[in-house]
Structure 1
Amino acid sequence: MEGGGGGRRITVSPRPCSGRRVVAKKRGRGWAGFDGFVNSVKKLQRREISSKRDRAFTMTDAQERFRNIRLQEEYDTHDPKGHCSMVLPFLRKRSKIIEIVAARDIVFALAQSGVCAAFSRETNQRICFLNVTADEVIRSLFYNKNNDSLITVSVYASDNFSSLKCRSTRIEYIRRGKPDAGFALFESESLKWPGFVEFDDVNGKVLTYSAQDSIYKVFDLKNYTMLYSISDKDVKEIKIR
């Protein structure tokens, strides 16, 4: 799904596209991290770190561009005591930050382990964790500016991490430390692998693909109303312009 020029796509194995897509992982022995993501990042690094003649100029230009940037605040998503004693063991381990989303006065940081925390820009303190249940692993975040809410895309241990679940939570609720005040989205859709959900901020649309019945559906990002569906097993890709 491609936006009109401002969207971007994120998959488990990212590729340079313009939408924002989250794909369900193939069912296996359980959650094993973002191996595909890491491998793709390494490929991009090898491509960028090359022996081209203008490499030195590019590095100098980058240093010049960012030389006035200074560290203002530090946030830490890791909680040594564990934000919940019942969470999965790997959720309690420190891991890399893979996604940062800013929404008004709140900064959201998603760790590779699947833990997501919200921080206040005003107090520079952690507000809360967004993992509502003990077995929830958050895969991706999307700030919906149309209704000032945060959409989390998660998988769960109870489902063997095989199906994507979406939840919308108003920023105001998160600001109050109530991440469980949100509501589920697209409950009628079966987003098991190779199903996916894709957010197009530019065109204000959400595209889902239910692999179980080979149906693509387009929803309005403002109120999540289904606009239309496309049922055809021969359709391989859909793009919105």
Structure 2
Amino acid sequence: MAHPGGPGIAWEYLRAPALERFLTMMYLEPVGTGGSDRLATHPHGYTRARYSRHLAALIDHLPVSRVHVLGHSHGGFVAQYHALHRPDRLAGMVLYDSAPVTGPEHAAEAMRAVREFAARHAGHPELPAVLQAFGAIPAISDDEAMMAVARAIVPAYVADYWSDARRWALLQDSLRATCISEPQSPRRRRPAPADPRLAHVPGEQKGPKAPAALPRAAAHRPTGLRR
């Protein structure tokens, strides 16, 4: 079960065809995003507790006792919350380019990574547009602005983006995003699990229907056998 980042980024960018050859992959489209319902309070009310409840409801519909959850970026925050509060249906968890803390420490590390990116690509003609997009993040207030920023910062998330920009432009142009206001929760350090089922995958580089609102999911079954 793969949970995308954002919050507000639609699931398609997270497709993993190599994994789909050997695993049944479920891609969750969180409430408020893409084709899933919006809350009556949209763009507010999208808490990790709510995402976790919806993840649990979706898992309950599957014909398996436990699942592995892959959380990317903000999806990793949801996966960690879910593991702390509803671990009984988890076979394991993979955190992809996520973090165990939020708050000032997390923000400082993110800014450090952006500065490294800028220094590494100093002089590139497209760098100013990427940095401008990062600076626009606090002012995002609608879907159009969210989409523009999500697409503009892709070069900072792909290590070799400018060595093959045409290839990555396909991903960039396909991104769909919804403006969602993430609640500010008290900073909390999550315990580091000793469970060997937990894996962390670093990123390439170091962003009135409430009762019926449910996430959608797309399933991709294995197409090959492990040799």
Question: TM-score with structure 2 length normalisation?
Answer: 0.26
- Say which structure is richer in helix: 2
By relative contact order (CA 8 Å, sep 6+), the higher-ranking structure is 2
- Say which structure is richer in strand: 1
Question: TM-score with structure 1 length normalisation?
Answer: 0.25
Instruction: Give 1 or 2 for the bigger CA radius of gyration.
Output: 1
